Amino acid sequence: MYLTGHARLAGVIGWPVAHSRSPRLHGAWLERYGIDGAYLPLAVRPADFAACARALVRMGFAGANVTIPHKEAAFAVCDRITDGAQRAGAVNTLMFRDGVIVGDNTDGTGFIANLRAHGVDPAAGPALLLGAGGAARAIGVALSEAGATVTVCNRSAERAMALAEVIGCRWLDWVARDTALADHALVVNTTSLGMKGQPPLDLSLRQASAGLVVADIVYVPLQTALLAAAQVRGLRTVEGLGMLLHQAVPGFSAWFGVTPTVDDDLYRIVAADLMA
């Protein structure tokens, strides 16, 4: 694929950035749609973030994704924040429009889109959110807006309480997580537990309601111990890689002018990259 002088440019800003799968994901779409454009890994030290974001605007980039550790700094550098990012309290997607930096957050909509792609209606019943970090906030707000009754359950009670206040929902003590499964239609692991290098999430599914859907947003490994245990019990599962793919759609569409499709081919390409 050749670039012309008109090529549209975007990328992912992180430190480090080498672990990011976003260049592979956006690169696959650029190739699929024959777009004159590029999506680059941009390794930027925390101290340089604001200067580099402003420089990208001046260099004619269309925008960028923002990953660890820049999500708070990204909020501060934006000239305008979308309602979604305001509610999520974080920015993961920057769009540069006529010199203005607009910050959006696509994690919540990406999670809901992935649920729907698995045939799960987010409003079908009460949802139990395990975790109260950045991803939990975006997902909790999105689930609530989609019509679900959300309950937050987190190791640190203060963070559970604070997030429940943001969402406008109830919260439970961490020790109540197993028994709470009996009263919920959906449970979502938004903690970092189960991720490669972390201990597994300690959750017993013995009391799970019959139709419980078990979603995990961890995607390394693709099949977490939680999802494997749910499948053994015959419960429906929703994996985290799909959320990563769906959350990338709005950025690609804004930067490159094509709304891309998330399908099995894309899943296979990014999954193979993760396993390599």
Ligand X SMILES: NC(=O)c1ccc[n+]([C@@H]2O[C@H](COP(=O)([O-])OP(=O)(O)OC[C@H]3O[C@@H](n4cnc5c(N)ncnc54)[C@H](OP(=O)(O)O)[C@@H]3O)[C@@H](O)[C@H]2O)c1
Positions annotated as catalytic residues are: 71
Contact criterion met (CB below 8 Å) for 118 and 252: no
CA distance to 29, 41, 270, per residue, from 23 (Å): 10, 6, 10
Pick the piece of the chain touching ligand X (CB under 6 A) from 9-17, 96-104, 211-219, 268-276: 211-219
User: 């013995």: which residue's tokens?
Assistant: 206
Q: Check binding of 153 to ligand X (CB under 6 A).
A: no
Q: Check binding of 132 to ligand X (CB under 6 A).
A: yes
Give the other-Cβ count within 10 Å of 193's Cβ: 20
Q: Which of 240, 250, 251, 260 binds ligand X (CB under 6 A)?
A: 240
Q: What is the dihedral of CA 152, 155, 159, 162, to 10 degrees?
A: 30
Query: Helix-strand-coil percent breakdown of the chain, rounded to 5?
Result: 40, 20, 40
Residue closer to ligand X by CB (options 171, 255) is 171
- Write down the least CB distance from residue 162 to ligand X, Å: 10
Residue closer to ligand X by CB (options 9, 91) is 91
User: In terms of residues, how long is the chain?
Assistant: 276
- Write down the least CB distance from residue 96 to ligand X, Å: 23
CA–CA separation, 82 and 133 (whole Å): 20
Contact criterion met (CB below 8 Å) for 105 and 91: yes
Q: Check binding of 126 to ligand X (CB under 6 A).
A: no
Q: Check binding of 136 to ligand X (CB under 6 A).
A: yes
Q: Check binding of 218 to ligand X (CB under 6 A).
A: yes
Q: Check binding of 223 to ligand X (CB under 6 A).
A: no
Q: Check binding of 131 to ligand X (CB under 6 A).
A: yes
- Applying CB under 6 A, the residues found at the interface with ligand X are 107, 131-136, 154-156, 159, 190-193, 195, 217-219, 240, 243-244, 247
